[in-house]
Amino acid sequence: MDQPTVRSVLAARTRDDLAALGPDVAALAGGSGIFAEPHPHLTGLVDLQTLGWPALVVTDAGLEIAATCTIAQVAGIPARDGWAAHPLFLRACTALFGSTEIWRVATVGGNICSALPAGPMTALAAALDAEALVWRAASDGSPAHDARMPVAELVTGDRTTALRPGDVLRSIHVPTASLRARTAFRKIALSPIGRSGSVVIGRLDEDGAFTLAVTGATLRPELLRYASLPAAEALADDVRAIGSWFTDAHGAADWRRAVSALLAQEVLAELAGDAAGSGDGPPSGERGTPLAAAATTTAGARAWA
């Protein structure tokens, strides 16, 4: 979509160029979000791609993913010895409501900063305890500086974040411990290729700690943490107790709450089977138990994975 009010595009070469950002000048990465709908208040764009950030950097501490890294590049991350969580990268990308053409331009940073509940990169980052590196803009006499925070805290609500005017998400860091963890993934939508109504990801760390991330069904990422694998019904109760369920065209809040609890139990069963060495439980991404009964909402809609 054209943006007829935009009169200038600055190709950023250094961090100093980001000072041009403001209420009417936006950061541009892949452009799949900015050019998807009108933004009549914008008069300028600052292109982040020209900063030349490496898309993916592996260190002893983990994996650094640039904000300008595309979803296609995330999907194509090669497997490495010890990275038990590797399959999750592609699985999370498949939760994107978009074509492979969109994968090639949409960026990790853009997906996270758009703060849509169904953002797959938010789901991925939250589930892996990724930390965001934010380039804070100078404000109120304070100079520009770096700030770090969990991605799960960067996204604060539907289309809201902890970013301040002029701030830029530089990268996200996935720690080695998370990369070595086992994961299980579930997604459900109201139609076979519809936007995610709920995305539930479980992570079982090498020390036995269990983390469950619920996104897509909630206004912000919701994380439940346990020192060890919890009982199935206790986990379901904790999921149902989450208070940020919401209703929109892609699902009613009561349906999202019900199916998320069931998906959480599937995730738990899969990881419990892995921990026992049995491999019990359905493969990640597939529904292992019928959801038709729980998928019925007050509007009578039904969900199919």
Quick one: pLDDT at residue 285? 63
Quick one: pLDDT at residue 8? 92
Final residue before a domain boundary, out of 135, 162, 177 = 177
209 shares a domain with 138: no
77 shares a domain with 160: yes
Cα–Cα distance, 215 to 200 (Å, whole number)? 7
160 shares a domain with 111: yes
Confidence of residue 238 (pLDDT cuts 50, 70, 90): very high
The domain tally of the chain equals 3
- What are residue 136's DSSP bridge partners? 145
Final residue before a domain boundary, out of 144, 177, 210 = 177
Q: 83-98 pLDDT, tens per residue?
A: 999 999 999 999 987 7
Quick one: pLDDT at residue 10? 96
Confidence of residue 152 (pLDDT cuts 50, 70, 90): very high
CA distance from start to end of the chain = 31
Average the pLDDT over each of 32-46, 121-135, 192-206, 213-227 and give the range with the smallest value.
Answer: 32-46
62 shares a domain with 153: yes
Whether the predicted pLDDT of 58 surpasses 80? yes
Q: 241-291 pLDDT, tens per residue?
A: 999 999 999 999 999 999 999 999 999 999 999 777 644 444 566 443 333
Quick one: pLDDT at residue 293? 28
Signed CA dihedral, 68, 51, 28, 21: sign only: positive
Q: Report if residue 83 sits inside a domain.
A: yes
pLDDT average, residue stretch 201-216:
99
Quick one: pLDDT at residue 281? 46
Quick one: pLDDT at residue 139? 87
Confidence of residue 38 (pLDDT cuts 50, 70, 90): confident
Q: Is the pTM of this model over 0.85?
A: yes
**What is the token pair recorded at 289?**
């138990």
Q: Report if residue 85 sits inside a domain.
A: yes
Q: What CATH number did the domain enclosing 209 receive? A: 3.30.390.50
Cα–Cα distance, 57 to 185 (Å, whole number)? 24
190 shares a domain with 270: yes
Cα–Cα distance, 115 to 112 (Å, whole number)? 5
**What is the token pair recorded at 239?**
């999921």
Quick one: pLDDT at residue 19? 95
User: What is the share, in percent, of the chain residues with pLDDT greater than 90?
Assistant: 79
Domain encompassing residue 258:
182-295
155 shares a domain with 112: yes
